[in-house]
């Protein structure tokens, strides 16, 4: 079975994102970029499934500018067998990415697609669900445990009240949550080996996918500065401040 893993190049999680001075977007110039942490978890889970003998091949795919090759090489250094880059300088929105992934799925015919539940830059949490709908596949979102059982997959999902267990038929789409696993450290020899692994490049036009943005970004700005808190002597003073100053009661 093939496993397709989608990985995104995003602002590093240690970097504080800042809007551009004109509010037209997020400042990316001279900002450290790395693989989206949720996608790292997806790659790690695919590798563990391969090590358990469930999967024979792992294909990493990324959509974006040429620099996404670095992200794919990282995935291959972790253990992915080959990579696919759909190169475009267009602003990529979840539906466009889902359609590109659908085209790659039609081309590669994997039995399972794993991707992070969301990207830490836009926090959309839409691509996995949209892909499952386009493919008409079963889906397990927010996975904190994945297990192959009787030719299908059992997925434990993170939900508000704890966890929920669902059984999926293959093929399926799984989106990963933080508690699914801890990605492995990439060793230098594997980084060198990754440079020799196959990396194919396509354009959206090659896949007959229209990636024209359907949403318009109006403005990006910093959230308002939070005011400092104050201590109150007793409940009566608290109620007075809530009523007279905050005007919430």
Please give the average per-residue pLDDT across 163-171, as a whole number. Answer: 93
CB 229 within 8 A of CB 245: no
Architecture of domain 2-244: 3-Layer(aba) Sandwich (3.40)
What average pLDDT score do residues 68-95 get?
95
**Phi-psi map region of 76: left, alpha, beta (phi>0 left; psi -120 to 50 alpha):** alpha
DSSP code, position 28: -
pTM for the predicted model, two decimal places: 0.87
| pLDDT band, very low/low/confident/very high, at 67 (cuts 50, 70, 90) | very high
Q: Is the pLDDT of residue 223 over 90?
A: no
15-31 pLDDT, tens digit per residue, is 988 888 888 888 888 88
Position with higher pLDDT, 214 vs 85? 85
User: How much is the pLDDT for 30?
Assistant: 86
- pLDDT tens digit sequence for 107-140: 999 999 999 999 998 899 999 999 999 999 999 9
Cβ-contact 153, 174 below 8 angstroms: yes
Question: Hey, what are 2's tokens?
Answer: 């093939």
Question: Mean pLDDT, to the nearest integer, of 202-208?
Answer: 95
Task: Tell me if 106 sits within 8 A of 137, measured CB to CB.
Answer: no
Query: Do 59 and 81 touch, CB atoms closer than 8 A?
Result: yes
Residue 107 has a pLDDT of 95
pLDDT at residue 103, rounded to an integer: 97
| Segment 90-100 mean pLDDT | 93
Closest C-alpha among 59, 50, 110, 58 to residue 85: 59
Higher pLDDT, 211 or 246: 211
Q: Beta strands 82-87 and 57-64: pairing type?
A: parallel
What's the mean pLDDT in 142-153? 91
Whether 217 shows a pLDDT value over 90: the answer reads: no
Average pLDDT of the chain is 93
Q: Residue 204 — φ and ψ, nearest 5°?
A: -55, -35
Q: What is the mean pLDDT of residues 219-239?
A: 88
Q: Phi first, then psi: what are they for 44, rounded to 5°?
A: -60, -40
Question: Are the beta carbons of 133 and 26 closer than 8 angstroms?
Answer: no
Q: Give the pLDDT band (50/70/90) at residue 224.
A: confident
pLDDT average, residue stretch 94-112 = 96
pLDDT band at 226 (very low <50, low <70, confident <90, very high): confident
> How far apart are alpha carbons 206 and 155 in whole angstroms?
34
Instruction: Name the strand (E) or helix (H) holding 167.
Output: strand 162-168
């Amino acid at each position: 079975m093939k496993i397709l893993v989608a990985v995104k190049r995003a602002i590093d999680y240690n970097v504080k994102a800042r809007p551009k001075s004109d509010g037209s977007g997020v400042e990316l110039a001279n900002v450290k970029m790395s693989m989206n942490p949720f996608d790292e978890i997806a790659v790690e889970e695919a590798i563990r499934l391969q090590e358990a003998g469930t999967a024979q091949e792992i294909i990493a795919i990324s959509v974006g500018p040429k620099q996404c090759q670095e992200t794919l090489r990282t995935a291959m250094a972790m253990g992915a067998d080959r990579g696919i880059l759909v190169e475009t300088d267009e602003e990529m929105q979840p539906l466009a990415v889902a359609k590109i992934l659908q085209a790659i799925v039609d081309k590669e015919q994997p039995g399972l697609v794993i991707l992070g539940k969301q990207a830490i830059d836009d926090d959309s949490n839409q691509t996995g669900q949209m892909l499952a709908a386009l493919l008409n596949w079963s889906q397990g979102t927010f996975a904190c445990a994945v297990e192959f059982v009787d030719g299908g997959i059992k997925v434990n999902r993170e939900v508000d009240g704890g966890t929920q267990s669902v059984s999926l038929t293959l093929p399926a789409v799984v989106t990963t949550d933080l508690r699914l696993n801890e990605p492995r450290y990439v060793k230098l020899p594997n980084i060198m080996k990754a440079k020799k692994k196959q990396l194919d490049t396509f354009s959206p036009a090659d896949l007959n996918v229209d990636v024209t943005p359907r949403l318009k970004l109006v403005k990006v700005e910093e959230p308002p500065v939070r005011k400092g808190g104050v201590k109150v002597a007793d409940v009566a003073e608290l109620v007075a401040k809530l009523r007279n100053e905050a005007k919430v009661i």
